[in-house]
Amino acid sequence: MDYVKLYDTTLRDGTQMEGVSLSVHDKLKIAERLDHLGVHFIEGGWPGSNPKDDEFFQEAKNLKLSNADLVAFGSTCRAYVDPVDDLNIMALVNSGAQVITIVGKSSESQVTDVLEVPLEENLRMISESIAYLKSLGKRIIFDAEHFFDGYLVNSEYSLQCISAAAKAGAECIVLCDTNGGTLPVDIFSTVSLVSKSVGVDIGIHCHNDADVAVANTLAAVQAGASHVQGTINGYGERSGNANLLSVIANLKLKLGLDVISDEQLSLLTDIHRFTAEMANMPRDRYQPYVGESAFTHKGGLHASAVAKVEESYQHIDPSAVGNLKHIVVSELAGRSNIAIKLQEEGLSEDVTKEQLGILLQVVKERESRGFQYEGAEASFRLLVRRSLSGYRPPFELVDFMVVMEKRRRQGQRNTTTDEDSLCEAMVKVSVDGEVKHTVAEGNGPVNALDQALRKGLLEFYPTLGNVELTDYKVRVVSQGPGGTGAVVRVLVESTDGVTNWATIGASTNIIEASWQALADSLEYALLQR
C-alpha cells in the first residue's frame, strides 16, 4: 500500500457518544486542530438533520484549511423519491461542501426489514443519489452500512450495493462494521476479496463493540484498504469508534506508512487532550500512545531497566507522539524509582545511598497508611526535601480547630439547606517563629480551613494569592469499624495559573487528611518560588 487517506468523523459520529456534546465553536476549533494534524478528510456533520450542523457548515466556509477537505455526511435519497426532489440531498448540496459522504444500506436484512423496500429500490437509491451529486461536481465517498454483517448472509447482494456505488461515480467505497462485532481475521479476508472486485479505493469504518476496532482497521489496511475512518479518542455511539489517534500511530510507527509527517505525529497527545477538553470528557490516562500513563513505570524492576535502556519497557520513544516517560513512586517502588525521581528534582547529589534506602522505607510505610504518591508528586517532592538536613519549612502548624453548626429554623421540618449551616475554622501557624492566629468562615469545613490558612500566610507570602484549588477528591482506602471509621485519602489539585500540581493526605479523620493535602499544596507553591 503506497498511501492511506485519513478520514476523521469526530464532529459527526463522535458526537453520538453518550455524554459528548459540541457547540459550533467547539467543532470549528477541533476542525482546525485536525487540519494541523494532517488528516485528509474532516466530516463536519449531517446538514439538514439539525440547526447546529447547518450553522457549522456556514461558519466553516471561513476556515482556512491547508491539509483537509471538509466533508458533509448524509443518506441516500428516500425510497421512491428522485434525488433532485429529496430534502436530504438538497441539504447536502446547500452545505457548500465539495466532498460528500453518502451512507446506504448494503445488507439484505437491513433493506427488507428496516428500510422495508425491495432490494432493487435500494440499489436505485444508492446509484441515483451518487450520480446526481456527481453531476453537480461533487466528490463522493460511499459508506456501505452493515457491510460485513450483510456480506456473511448474502455476499452477492452486498457486492451489488458497492458495485452500484462505484459505477455511479463514488471515488471510495467504505466498508462499515456498523455493529462492531466482526473480528480482525474476518475483516482481513473480506477486504482482501472485495478490494479485488471493485475498481475504486476501498475504505474501512469500524465500531468498537468487540474492542477490536483499531485492530480491524489495521487488518483492513493490510488487506488493501487505502482509506481509514475513525474518531479522536475513539468517541462514538455505544462503545465508540476506532480511535484514530491509535490508528495513525500504528500506521506510521508500526506499518511504516507516512500518513502524516513526524512533526504532525508529535501533536497526537496534544489533540487527545484538547478534544477531551472541548467535549468536556475526562481524559483516559491509560489510552495507548497519548494517555498520561501510557509510558508510566511503577514497578521497581521496570524503572531500573528503563533508566538504563529506555526501550526495555517501552515500545516507542514517547516524544514521537508528544508524550513523556513517567516514573511513579509507590509501595511497589524500588531504589531505582526513588533515584530517578531525585534526579528529576536535581536532588541526587544531596541524598546519600543510606538516605535513599530510608526514604524508600518511609514511602512504603506511608502508603501502607493510605498515602499514594503516584498521583501526588508534589507531596512526594516535599517528602524528599523534608528528609534533607537543613530544610526549613516556610510555615509550621501550631494547631487548628474546625466548628460546624447546623440550625433548624423554628417551624421547619427535618429538611435543612446550606444557608442553615455555618462552618468556621481557627488556625494557628508559625512563620519564622512568629505565630499568626486567624479565623475564617467557609461553605464547608475544608473550605473554611483553606480560607483560614491562607489568611494567616498571605501577610508573609503575598504570592499565595495566585494559588487556586482546582479539584478536591476523597476516596475511602480501607474500611474501619462500622464503615465510617475508614481511612480516607484526600487528593487536592492546585494551580498558580502557570503550573499544576497535586498533593495528598490520608487519615481516619477527613478534616486531618484535608489539612495535610492543603498544607502541602501551599508549601509546594512556596517551594517552587
What is the pLDDT at residue 510? 87
End-to-end CA distance of the chain: give it in Å, rounded: 54
What is the pLDDT at residue 427? 92
Both 51 and 77 in a single domain?
yes
Domain end position, chosen among 215, 241, 260 = 260
Report the C-alpha gap between 394 and 432 in whole angstroms. 8
Q: Which of 476, 509, 472 is nearest to 491 (CA)?
A: 472
What is the pLDDT at residue 379? 84
* Domain assignment of residue 425, given as a range: 395-408+418-460
Both 404 and 336 in a single domain?
no
Both 190 and 92 in a single domain?
yes
Report the C-alpha gap between 89 and 502 in whole angstroms. 52
Question: Quick check: is 220 in a domain?
Answer: yes
Both 404 and 380 in a single domain?
no
pLDDT digits (tens, 9 = 90+) for 247-263: 999 999 999 999 999 99
Q: Copy the grid coordinates of residue 10.
A: 469526530
Question: Quick check: is 142 in a domain?
Answer: yes
What is the pLDDT at residue 331? 45
What is the pLDDT at residue 491? 85
DSSP string for 67-101 = S-EEEEEEEPPPTT--GGG-HHHHHHHHT--SEEE
Give me the number of domains the chain comprises. Answer: 3
What is the pLDDT at residue 340? 61
What is the pLDDT at residue 471? 85
Report the C-alpha gap between 42 and 67 in whole angstroms. 10
Question: Quick check: is 283 in a domain?
Answer: no
Both 254 and 358 in a single domain?
no
Both 401 and 377 in a single domain?
no
> CA quadruple 75, 80, 83, 89: dihedral positive or negative?
negative
Q: Compute CA 384 distance to the chain's CA centroid, rounded to the nearest angstrom.
A: 32
Both 431 and 452 in a single domain?
yes
Q: Copy the grid coordinates of residue 209.
A: 463493540
pLDDT digits (tens, 9 = 90+) for 106-132: 999 999 999 999 999 999 999 999 999
Both 366 and 401 in a single domain?
no
What is the pLDDT at residue 330? 47
What is the pLDDT at residue 346? 62
Both 71 and 116 in a single domain?
yes
CATH number for 178: 3.20.20.70
Both 165 and 76 in a single domain?
yes
Both 35 and 109 in a single domain?
yes
Q: Copy the grid coordinates of residue 52.
A: 447546529
Asked if residue 20 lies in contact with residue 12, where contact means CB atoms within 8 angstroms, the answer is no
Q: Copy the grid coordinates of residue 143.
A: 459508506
CATH number for 452: 3.30.160
> Which residues, given as ranges, of the chain have pLDDT below 50?
303, 330-333
